[in-house]
Structure 1
């Protein structure tokens, strides 16, 4: 409706509808939902749980990293829900305060979507940066976001591992143990197991999906492997992602034989379709508004960003806080940064860390679930907007991810001197 108002009564030129981004999201949603029906999500969860259980004494480091990797591979944070009771139970039984690994694992899945080739947020980002004059494609984004996120999670884990009192020194937890409300860690037995059904079909569906993700990365790295367009040039990654994910869905149907009537009822399909519809309208609105005010964005915001690039990171973080949607924040803020003249690599480094902002307020389902699964009560939702267990981990992870992201982005944005073939040595920097 707002696009209609801007186009007719106001008289602004109507922008281009984001068809490419919509098609990517739809292709990924169909493939992911088909995999979920086949049992692929359950198989992923079982593997992730085993990795977390391998060394429970270092769970504050391992759990967030595993949660991050599987969320990035699956393109959704929903994979974390079945892992929450495992993380809570294992940490407590090993004498580790659950409020350390639980919140950081939740927040880590947020920044994972900036590293996933198949997330809706990445689909939005690719359609914005892969076009001329930026030509900054999927693999270029991941080169910045993925290592920055890994550095950020490990760095945040060192800090979060010291938050709160140890179980032995926490009077609130000790009072519950004395009252018999919860068992002592050394008496705690019978670990909570992941309640999922693991099948051969689920394993095959997950492997097919991961093969599709790997294919997207490979085609992103090696342009010469891609099919050619009518002009004889390698096609862009946008249609490649669409083709590969639709192929993944087809192979899953042929190999794993899921019940297709259940695809539309899955949580992945419902959430994905809502996201696709919302993003289509928002992206169209943003393109229409910014297209009519390009000069204002470049001169006004551009001047601020040039003097203080951190303003972009702060703006992205705050929009994530207010919308609790990485995709919405991407489509809203990234075009402004690009119009202001920010290098896509530097922008990507800030973009990934800002995604932690969706957990600054205790309003997400995964935060509520994490607090409910923590029987010790150490993971709290608080009574104010800043006294919950996710507030500090969110800020820490945002900072520890943005800093290496900015460094990597600056390195990749730095002009590389080209060697003159007529000279015997390289020119000076």
Structure 2
């Protein structure tokens, strides 16, 4: 291997990622394509394989979830989540993150958290609990949720990378889901102690004294959710969630999948795509949303941006890794085998820099696979590292949480590490990576 050429081509890959990160959104996809062009035309590398299957999964899921959103399904899910949180207001530091996590898993997106933020803030404050505690962990928990969701863009990318090695959706989820839940539960005990209690916080007490905010109430009454839950929305959400459940069942029992002509059951990629199209069509028939509103839905716009970023970036990394797969496996493989945490650190750092779990998956996971990291171990560390997107206070949900917190306890900070999400991010990442690695070794394959 020509070291100079390798370094130059690696710099092209990294430069394209940096430029895409600075542009954000579709810029990641466009600059990924530019990187492919330079590698192919400038360095004469053979173009890699475009991530067709991952793209098709993303498109089918985005279509079904957008139809559900227009039908009112996400609003209905938010109303149910709010009621679950309100049932145990004294335990909100644990309950709110778990509910936020589970609903993000079901919906395949963390956007479901936004309407829940004022509910979490009001319930925690009215029960005398510092709002930054449940707010911060609820935000961070939605990051690792996407490593557990059968219908997230990050999972689509992961399945596309691992299914050819016989490691399918259910193999990933049986490691990531319990690891993430343990991580959230353990981290919640730490978060309960972060920051001063309301009674001992001079900033909050000054706001109460000045009449800027009311004193915390003694009751735990539920807060009205600012969404309209409808029968059509309920039906749409149930159809979508049933589709998610069907995907899991097909993953658990390959024998019930239709066979190919050769006799083997069809792979989970096709199952996910077919199921999502059927779910979307059923929502159209039963809930009757306005089809013309689907392209304007927030889930649709965010999903299309993710698909474009996935296309360009995955094509770029595949082109580079395909040219040096043997060399990477030989040079990096031994290092990663001795210190697997290096793989987790790579995912975490890319999540920090790009705030995109899909980008981190397509950038680092192929290197881990080429290096020979066992796929169970790889999946467990992959899930925990997703918390990294909240290490810096630049994500929309972090900003929204700080704005909704009228007590001012949730802070974005001024020094990048002094914000309310820093400790929960690091704690959740470390615990979930550790537990995920253990589960991956025990039963991940």
Bin the TM-score by the shorter chain. Answer: over 0.9
Shift of 1:194: 1.5
1:350 maps to 2:376: no
1:341 maps to 2:372: yes
Please name the residue that 2:146 is paired with. 113
Q: Which residue, out of 59, 69, 72, partners 1:26?
A: 59
Please name the residue that 2:287 is paired with. 256
Residues 358-401 of structure 1 show CA distances to partners (whole Å, capped at 9, x for unaligned) of 00000011000000010100000011110000000000110111
Q: Which residue, out of 343, 362, 383, partners 1:331?
A: 362
Within-5 A mapping of 1:115-264: 115-131=148-164, 134-186=165-217, 192-264=223-295
Please name the residue that 1:372 is paired with. 403
2:117 partner SS: helix
Please name the residue that 2:100 is paired with. 67
Distance 2:218 2:259 in 1: 64
Distance 1:196 1:100 in 2: 24
Please name the residue that 2:18 is paired with. none
More deviation in 186-195 or 113-122? 186-195
- Give the TM-score normalised by the residue count of structure 2: 0.91
Distance 2:432 2:42 in 1: 44
In structure 2, the gaps of 5 or more residues are 1-33
Distance 2:218 2:234 in 1: 35
Distance 2:90 2:212 in 1: 24
1:93 maps to 2:93: no
Shift of 1:106: 0.2
Shift of 1:3: 1.4
1:49 maps to 2:66: no
2:42 partner SS: coil
1:25 partner SS: helix
Shift of 1:137: 0.3
**Number of equivalences:** 412
Note if contact 2:86-2:222 (Cα within 8 Å) is conserved in structure 1: no
Distance 2:149 2:230 in 1: 25
Say which structure is richer in helix: 2
Moved over 4 A (4+): 187-192
Please name the residue that 1:15 is paired with. 48
1:37 maps to 2:75: no
In structure 1, the gaps of 5 or more residues are 415-429
Residues 32-57 of structure 1 show CA distances to partners (whole Å, capped at 9, x for unaligned) of 00000000000000000000000100
1:280 maps to 2:311: yes
Provide closer, same or farther for how the CA distance between residues 413 and 241 of structure 1 changes in structure 2, counting only shifts above 3 A: closer
Please name the residue that 2:27 is paired with. none
Please name the residue that 2:297 is paired with. 266
Note if contact 2:333-2:370 (Cα within 8 Å) is conserved in structure 1: yes
Please name the residue that 2:10 is paired with. none
Distance 2:220 2:204 in 1: 17
Provide closer, same or farther for how the CA distance between residues 9 and 186 of structure 1 changes in structure 2, counting only shifts above 3 A: closer
Residues 96-139 of structure 1 show CA distances to partners (whole Å, capped at 9, x for unaligned) of 000100010000001000000000000000000010xx210000
Distance 2:221 2:100 in 1: 23
Please name the residue that 1:362 is paired with. 393
Please name the residue that 1:417 is paired with. none
1:8 partner SS: helix
Shift of 1:413: 5.1
Note if contact 2:77-2:103 (Cα within 8 Å) is conserved in structure 1: yes
Residues 77-114 of structure 1 show CA distances to partners (whole Å, capped at 9, x for unaligned) of 00000000000000000000001000100000010000
Please tell me the root mean square deviation across aligned C-alpha atoms, in Å. Answer: 1.2
